[in-house]
Amino acid sequence: MEGGVGRIQEAYHAPFLHGKAYPDQIAWNNNQFAHLLGVELYKRHRALSIEGNPDHEPTGVAEVLFRRTGNVFTALKKNKHLDMQKLPRGVNPTRDANWAFDIYVVFPNFYIATMRAMPFVTYHFWPVAADRTIWQTDHYMAAPKNAGELLSQHFSKAFARDVQREDLITLENTQSVLRSGAITSLTLSDQEVSSTRLFAAK
C-alpha cells in the first residue's frame, strides 16, 4: 500500500511517463519539468497543488468530447478569468492563475483531488497483502444534461483510466525491486517531499 500511496505525490513524472497522453498539459515551456505550485505538510496529511498549461489545445477526438464538459486542462483556457479569490479556503492555496488541481492525501490511504473542471476524484488504496494493493478510483461529476455530456464524461473516465494504467506499470516494477531486496534505501528529490511525509506519519 505504501508504494501506491507514496507514489503519485508529485507531477514531474507526467512529461516522462504520460508524454503521449499529456504532451503539454502539465509540462510546457514555462514549467518543463512540472514542478509543483506548492506543498503543505501536516502531521499525518499533506496537500499539493499542480498547475497546467493555459494555452493547451486538445486535438482529435479529445477536442470534440472535452468541448461538452471540459476537463481539467481544457478548463484552463475556457476559464481563464476564474476569480481565484472566490475559491474555497484550501483549494488552490497559492491562488495561482494557472492552477489545474490539488491533491489532498489523508493518512493512511485516501486521496481526494479537486479540479478546475470536474468536481473531484478520489483514490483509496486497500492493502490485501504485504505486497498487493487494490487501487480504487471514484469520479464525482454533475449529472449529464444530455447524451453528449454523458459521452464526454465516459471519455474523461476512460482517459483517466489509461493514464492510471501507466502509473500502475511503475508501481508494479517498483514492488518487484523492493521484493528482491536489491536496494535498501531510496533517495527522493525536493519535488517528492510530500511522499516523505507518509513515512514520517507512522
Task: Say what the pLDDT of residue 128 is.
Answer: 93
Residue 193 lies in a domain: no
Give the pTM. Answer: 0.83
Please give the tally of structural domains in the chain: 1
Three-class DSSP category at 122: strand
Residue 27 lies in a domain: yes
CATH number reported for the structural domain that contains residue 54 in this entry: 3.90.380
Between the CA of residue 9 and those of 23, 45, 96, what are the distances in Å? 20, 12, 19
- Integer Cα distance of 117 and 70 in angstroms: 6
**Amino acid, res. 96:** D
Spatial contact of 76 and 160, defined as CB atoms under 8 Å apart: no
Residue 166, CA atoms < 13 Å, CB-side half-sphere:
16
Copy the grid coordinates of residue 81.
478569468
Model pLDDT for residues 80-108, shown as the tens digit of each residue: 667 888 888 889 999 998 898 999 999 88
Task: Say what the pLDDT of residue 12 is.
Answer: 83
What's the domain range around 90? 2-180
Task: Say what the pLDDT of residue 2 is.
Answer: 55
Length of the chain: 202
- Is the predicted pLDDT of residue 176 greater than 90, yes or no? no
Residue 195 lies in a domain: no
Percent of the chain with pLDDT over 90: 20
Residue 202 lies in a domain: no
